[in-house]
A and B are shown apart, each in its own frame.
Chain A
Amino acid sequence: MAGRGETVKEENAEAEAIITRIEHKSRKIESLLKQGRPVEALKTVLEGSPPKTRDERCKSANWILVHRALMAIKDVDALFSALDPEYYDILMKYLYRGLSTGDRPTCDQCLRIHEKLTEKAGMGCILRSLADTVNTV
């Protein structure tokens, strides 16, 4: 049992480290949003997203930042001319998280982006976000 206690402790320490990183990132994102660069902000927040951890606090903390950046995006076409394909899969996962909130303005925004993203990244991108039950956001 001691071994199991150790792993829990380790996981907690890891989670703390991730939270600290997210807090640090949050300041950067706020300043990017103030400068009117929501696409840069979205990229930054997607880059360090913590799918590998199972810790819900980390996931929620990062989602709050993703949500802020997503809602700040006005021009979806401009978003996709600036966003590289490597971000498509992780963005799709966050769009489904947004849709699952049931919040009207969030869902509207997520659907707007979802339509463009599906056009860009195809059905495969949706399949990857739905089929992956391990690396969730």
Chain B
Amino acid sequence: MAAVEVHQFAQCITCHAWSADRSMIALCPNNNEVHIYRLSQDKWEKVHVLQKHDQIVCGIDWSARSNRIVTASHDRNSYVWNQEGSEWVPTLVILRLNRAALCVQWSPKENKFAVGSGAKTVCICYYEQDNNWWVSKLIRKRHDSSVTSVAWHPNNILLATTSTDGKCRVFSTFIKGVDTRDSKAGSVSDSKFGEQIVQLDLSFSWAFGVKWSPSGNTLAYVGHNSMIYFVDDVGPSPLAQNVAFRDLPLRDVLFVSEKMVIGVGFDCNPMVFAADERGIWSFIRFLGERKSTLSGSRYSSQFSEAFGKFYGQSKSGASNDGIEPSRSRGGIHENCISCIMSLTESGSSRKTRFSTSGLDGKVVVWDLENQEDLSGYL
């Protein structure tokens, strides 16, 4: 069984994040609060409620080394939360947005974080020692629509974004005084703040869920047209692969190794994608078992009723008894999965564990350890 733990924390979870030692989880139960649970004696106990936002919190990230939580909300603000004693103390970050903040991520060195917004901009925020203040610097102009996801390259400079104009873009976020010119990083570190490195026009519909592979050599993102895109050699002449799959679109992705990606989304069941020896990516299988196999020619999903009506008209008089009423698809998640997080502790070489949360309010922990057919890609 690939799912090792299932926790029902709320009615609906917009996003979640783990503390460095994985003993605590921060999640937003689809409102303006962030709840922190701690594992004590095999039970998850609610230990903190972070109340400062006015509207739905849609992005949480918990930095591993500095133990800070950053949150982004539809109220157009971010807070950085520092633990002081037993309290979490918020610091307001004025993002200077006129639309909702949608997603947030700490940079690998944890000295910056990026916020994607509905204002067609990305905010790069960094701490100014002199003023004791988080400063937000905006990347304007390039995006033609809301920024749905942001992902930091391991070099702490490059940032990939996806947006609802269907594009995936890569920017330089070099900030003087925060980042240092690194001769090893080559031409990348010569670029100025906000400079666009590449724009990928692979999708013709909304793009979501961008991630870099652990080495930063490959980029993956998904489109709302049931496609996933893999890009190698991100730069002036990128090598792109489009993989179409037969099920509902994805919302987010996670690299578990250089050669394997887990995609989660509207199909409520994580999908495994992997690259073969030639570097060709393809869909491998679903991770969760499906209790209800597709019965005959009928689609046993929440769509069966609608399809029944749809086809019923074409066969006037045909009996509709093969159509089952709406029910869950028999997987572990019962609704769209919107968030996937790695559960690998820093320093550990095995990257086999990750967690997913979704609109059904569950957090599910998955382990690839005993999935023998997949071990070759790890």
A128 touches B247 (CB 8 A): no
Give the contacts of B260-314 with A (CB-CB under 8 A): 297, 299, 301, 303, 307, 310-311, 313-314
> What number of B residues sit within 8 Å (CB to CB) of A?
23
A111 touches B204 (CB 8 A): no
A134 touches B303 (CB 8 A): no
Q: Which of A15-23, A35-43, A64-72, A119-127 contacts B (4 or more CB under 8 A)?
A: A119-127
A132 touches B205 (CB 8 A): yes
The residue from A107, A119, A133 contacting B204, defined by CB atoms under 8 A apart: A133
Task: Write out the residue numbers on chain A whose beta carbons fall within 8 Å of the beta carbon of B133.
Answer: none
Question: Is A118 interfacial (CB 8 A cutoff)?
Answer: yes
A121 touches B246 (CB 8 A): yes
Determine the distance from Cα of A124 to Cα of B206 in the docked complex, in whole angstroms: 15
> What number of A residues sit within 8 Å (CB to CB) of B?
21
Given contacts A124-B226, A131-B205, contact A111 B303 (CB under 8 A): no
Given contacts A122-B246, A124-B246, A125-B246, contact A131 B297 (CB under 8 A): no
B226 touches A128 (CB 8 A): yes
Residue with the greatest number of chain A CB neighbours at <10 A, chosen from B226, B311, B313: B226
Pairs A–B under 8 Å by Cβ, sample size 7: A115-B311, A119-B299, A123-B247, A123-B303, A125-B226, A131-B223, A131-B225
Question: Is A135 interfacial (CB 8 A cutoff)?
Answer: yes
A127 touches B249 (CB 8 A): yes
Residues on A facing B (Cβ under 8 Å): 89, 107-108, 111-112, 114-115, 118-119, 121-125, 127-128, 131-135
| A-B contact number at CB 8 A | 60
Determine the distance from Cα of A118 to Cα of B299 in the docked complex, in whole angstroms: 9
A111 touches B310 (CB 8 A): yes
B247 touches A122 (CB 8 A): yes
Task: Give 15 new A-B contacts, CB below 8 A, not counting A111-B314, A123-B303, A124-B247.
Answer: A111-B313, A114-B311, A123-B246, A123-B247, A124-B248, A125-B226, A127-B224, A127-B225, A128-B244, A131-B204, A131-B224, A131-B225, A131-B226, A132-B205, A132-B225
Top 9 A-B pairs ranked by shortest CB distance? A122-B246, A124-B226, A111-B314, A131-B205, A131-B225, A134-B204, A127-B226, A128-B225, A124-B246
Cβ contacts B216-236/A at 8 Å (1 or 0 each): 000000011111000000000
Task: Write out the residue numbers on chain A whose beta carbons fall within 8 Å of the beta carbon of B204.
Answer: 131-135
Determine the distance from Cα of A118 to Cα of B301 in the docked complex, in whole angstroms: 13
Determine the distance from Cα of A44 to Cα of B136 in the docked complex, in whole angstroms: 56
Given contacts A128-B244, A131-B205, contact A123 B314 (CB under 8 A): no
CB distance from B239 to the nearest CB of A (A): 21
Task: Write out the residue numbers on chain B whose beta carbons fall within 8 Å of the beta carbon of A111.
Answer: 310-311, 313-314
Determine the distance from Cα of A128 to Cα of B205 in the docked complex, in whole angstroms: 9
Determine the distance from Cα of A115 to Cα of B311 in the docked complex, in whole angstroms: 7
Determine the distance from Cα of A135 to Cα of B203 in the docked complex, in whole angstroms: 11
Determine the distance from Cα of A128 to Cα of B243 in the docked complex, in whole angstroms: 12
Residue with the greatest number of chain A CB neighbours at <10 A, chosen from B225, B249, B299: B225
| Closest B residue to A127 using CB positions | B226
| Closest A residue to B298 using CB positions | A119
Determine the distance from Cα of A135 to Cα of B204 in the docked complex, in whole angstroms: 8
Task: Write out the residue numbers on chain B whose beta carbons fall within 8 Å of the beta carbon of A122.
Answer: 245-247
Task: Write out the residue numbers on chain A whose beta carbons fall within 8 Å of the beta carbon of B205.
Answer: 131-133
| Closest B residue to A112 using CB positions | B314
Determine the distance from Cα of A125 to Cα of B227 in the docked complex, in whole angstroms: 10
CB distance from B156 to the nearest CB of A (A): 34
Cβ contacts B49-63/A at 8 Å (1 or 0 each): 000000000000000
Determine the distance from Cα of A123 to Cα of B303 in the docked complex, in whole angstroms: 10
Task: Write out the residue numbers on chain A whose beta carbons fall within 8 Å of the beta carbon of B310.
Answer: 111, 114
| Closest B residue to A128 using CB positions | B225
Determine the distance from Cα of A5 to Cα of B245 in the docked complex, in whole angstroms: 41
Residue with the greatest number of chain B CB neighbours at <10 A, chosen from A89, A114, A118, A131: A131
Task: Write out the residue numbers on chain B whose beta carbons fall within 8 Å of the beta carbon of A131.
Answer: 204-206, 223-226, 249
